[in-house]
Amino acid sequence: MRAIQRLFLWVSVCLAVLGLKPALAAPADDNWWRSAVIYEVYPRSFGDANGDGIGDLNGITEHLDYLKDLGVDAIWITPFYPSPQVDFGYDISDYRGIDPQFGTMADFDRLEAAAKERGIRIICDLVLNHSSDKHPWFVESRSSRTNPKADWYIWHDGKPGGTPPNSPPNNWQSIFGHSAWQYEKARDQYYYHAFYKEQPDLNWRDDRVKNAMFDVVRFWMNKGVSGFRLDAITSMFEDVALKDESYLAGMNAYGERNIARLYTDNLPEVHNILRQLRKVTNEKAGTVLIGETYLPNVGELAKMYGRNRDELQLPMDTQLGLSNKLSVAGFRGKLQDAETKINGNVPLFVFSNHDNPRSINRYGDGKHEGEIARLLATLLLTPRDAALIYYGEEIGMTNRDPKSKDEVKDPIGRSGWPKEKGRDGERTPMQWNGDTNAGFSVSKQPWLPVAPNYRTVNVSSESRDPNSLLNYYKKLIRLRKVNQQFKKGDFITVDNSNEQVLSYLRKTSDGKAVLVSMNFTASPQTVKLDLTTEGIKGEHSKLILASYPNASGSAELKDLALPPYGSYVGEVVP
Ligand code: GLC
Ligand code: CA
């Protein structure tokens, strides 16, 4: 033990004896999120413990050993609070409870404790932008113009001279289609909803709303959760002048003209709230704020961390993983952006989630899905980043989209059919094994059909196959934990003019480097690397991990052969 550590220990012991907490330095643990692997669980579809066809909290608890074995640091669970389920939980009617479909608070406490025992942290989804229209706050707010909560939501008069309900204040549109304004007779006014009309937007210009929500945050922190994923965070403010948006080219899936979203998306006021929220989460060290941040460019992403690192620790970087095109230059550029344009903060890369078609459906070429899935895994798990895995990506789950409109569960899939099929396809039950309902549920009919590939694409069969995608994920996640270059090495792209193969180094200050090379094409490629320009003495590479069979144990850097879509990880040696 070094002297400084001994001193810290001594001071800690003395303070502990006095009943005080040491405030000298943040334990490394408080920064757990910096290199974390965070796994998104969509609770309706993960595990159904009571056999009603809908996944539940006990179903997550039952599968914690799997998640521990996979090696994840935390799970983000999408909303499980009481909700009419219009938007499958994103319409919350009580921020401090558990929807009976998902279980009870005792179930949550058990899940939390069981996760903790396994070293897995829980991250809750926090929906600040809107509540359900059935939330008592809104029920009160809509009842009159004079009730105590009259200003808790965004209320406005219609256009002067118009006839309600068809004269909304302006032309703003809901992200889910149609006017963003809904008429309320009791007030003879309209309320604003960025999403469904059952999701009225809260008025964040009212401090009472803010304080009520910050208490919700404290409630879940006291329950032991380690962080929050902030839903729709860029939608929190709307321009008070209510200016009409201008129209853009084309029509949306709902049959309306596209509009700009200058006055309802990513307003500067958002940052003010994020700073205040961060102060609240700072009350409990180690609490992470993750943001649902679909932003137009890396500059806006950089702002989300805060000028003094006082906003979000991990706004989602959707620039990289949702680019939807396997382009070496594209990925290299986005990775470099994350290194140089977000002020040294940690990027949270995301390739998939419950709102977008699964990654393999967006990046696959119809022939090399297995290889491309491994390539995406390498891209997610080997840079200097925090990584988000959407449940089932690690086994190669694919979308199973509805075949007809009457099959659709997600309301936007019905209103937007056939252009917008909704998000059911990426939310199908987790594929645990080759048995009935893929082992997700014993019910006759799970809430969504299981994807037909479950007989081969499932946890049980992939666990037994050492060369499976699942085992490839496990090896990558393990590498992040045990290999010093992956744990704390810098990230440097090399061979920067190559358009077929993306290569980068993870390099520690002792000069040791690990090389990652990925073939982005359907043909074999050979890379010729000269690392002397990087100040690295090395002509060979010792294999650490490859996504393909029969990789040779030692390779020459000036002649490194990669099969179609192959990923190579090796230690650079003289
Ligand atoms: C976020 C959620 C999405 C939801 C929407 C409204 O985008 O991820 O599922 O529909 O917010 O809450
Ligand atoms: Ca259930």
Q: How far is the CA of 66 from the centre of ligand 2 (A)?
A: 19
Do the beta carbons of residue 345 and residue 290 sit within 8 Å?
A: no
Of the candidates 50, 127, 123, 106, the residue with the CA atom closest to the CA atom of residue 447 = 50
SS (H, E, C) 297-350: CHHHHHHCCCCCCCCCCEEEEHHHHCCCCCCHHHHHHHHHHHHHCCCCCCCEEE
Q: What pLDDT was estimated at residue 538?
A: 87
Residue-level pLDDT at 241: 97
Q: Report pLDDT for 1.
A: 45
C-alpha pair distances (Å), 341 with each of 303, 350, 444, 489, 512: 10, 18, 51, 18, 25
- For ligand 1, pick from 355, 388, 410, 427 the residue to mutate: most ligand atoms within 8 Å of CB: 355
Structure pTM?
Answer: 0.95
pLDDT of residue 156: 98
Enzyme catalytic residues: 231, 292
The dihedral through the CA atoms of 80, 82, 87, 88 has a sign that is positive
Pocket of ligand 1 (CB under 6 A): 87, 90, 127, 195, 231-232, 292, 354-355
| Residue nearest to ligand 1 atom 11, measured at CA | 232
Q: Are 392 and 425 in contact (CB under 8 A)?
A: no
| Strands lying side by side in the sheet with 513-519 | 490-494, 501-507, 513-519, 567-573, 540-546, 554-556
Per-residue b or e along 78-93, where b marks 16 or more CB atoms closer than 10 Å to that residue's CB: bbbbbbebbbbbbbbb
CA 72 to ligand 2 centroid distance, Å:
24
pLDDT (0 to 100) of residue 26: 56
Kindly list the structural domains of the chain, giving each domain's residue range(s) and its CATH number in brackets, ordered by start.
Answer: 32-124+219-243+262-475 (3.20.20.80), 491-573 (2.60.40.1180)
* Centre of ligand 2 from the C-alpha of residue 442, in Å: 10
Q: What pLDDT is attached to residue 389?
A: 98
CA separation for the pair 236, 331 (Å, rounded):
30
Summarize pLDDT for 420-447 with one digit per residue, the tens.
999 999 999 999 999 999 999 999 999 9
Question: Percent of the chain at pLDDT above 70?
Answer: 95
Q: Name which residue sits closest to atom 7 of ligand 1, judged by CA.
A: 232
Q: Is 172 helix (H, G, I), strand (E, B) or coil?
A: coil
What's the rounded Cα separation, in Å, for the pair 31 and 466? 33
315-320: Cβ within 8 A, 24+ apart: 315/290, 315/291, 315/348, 316/290, 316/291, 316/292, 316/348, 316/350, 316/388, 317/347, 317/348, 317/349, 317/350, 317/385, 318/293, 318/294, 318/350, 319/295, 320/347, 320/349, 320/379
pLDDT at residue number 53: 98
pLDDT tens sequence for the chain (574 residues)? 455 555 555 655 555 555 444 445 556 699 999 999 999 999 999 999 999 999 999 999 999 999 999 999 999 999 999 999 999 999 999 999 999 999 999 999 999 999 999 999 999 999 999 999 999 999 999 999 999 999 999 999 999 999 999 999 999 999 999 999 999 999 999 999 999 999 999 999 999 999 999 999 999 999 999 999 999 999 999 999 999 999 999 999 999 999 999 999 999 999 999 999 999 999 999 999 999 999 999 999 999 999 999 999 999 999 999 999 999 999 999 999 999 999 999 999 999 999 999 999 999 999 999 999 999 999 999 999 999 999 999 999 999 999 999 999 999 999 999 999 999 999 999 999 999 999 999 999 999 999 999 999 999 999 999 999 999 999 999 999 999 999 999 999 999 999 999 999 999 999 999 999 999 999 999 999 999 888 888 899 999 999 999 999 999 999 999 999 999 999 999 8
Inter-residue long-range contacts of 249-252, CB under 8 Å, 24+ positions, other chains counted? 252/173, 252/177
Report the C-alpha gap between 134 and 198 in whole angstroms.
8
For the four alpha carbons of 530, 536, 541 and 547, in that order, the dihedral sign comes to: negative
Q: How far apart are CA 228 and CA 289, in angstroms?
A: 5
DSSP 3-state assignment of 439?
helix
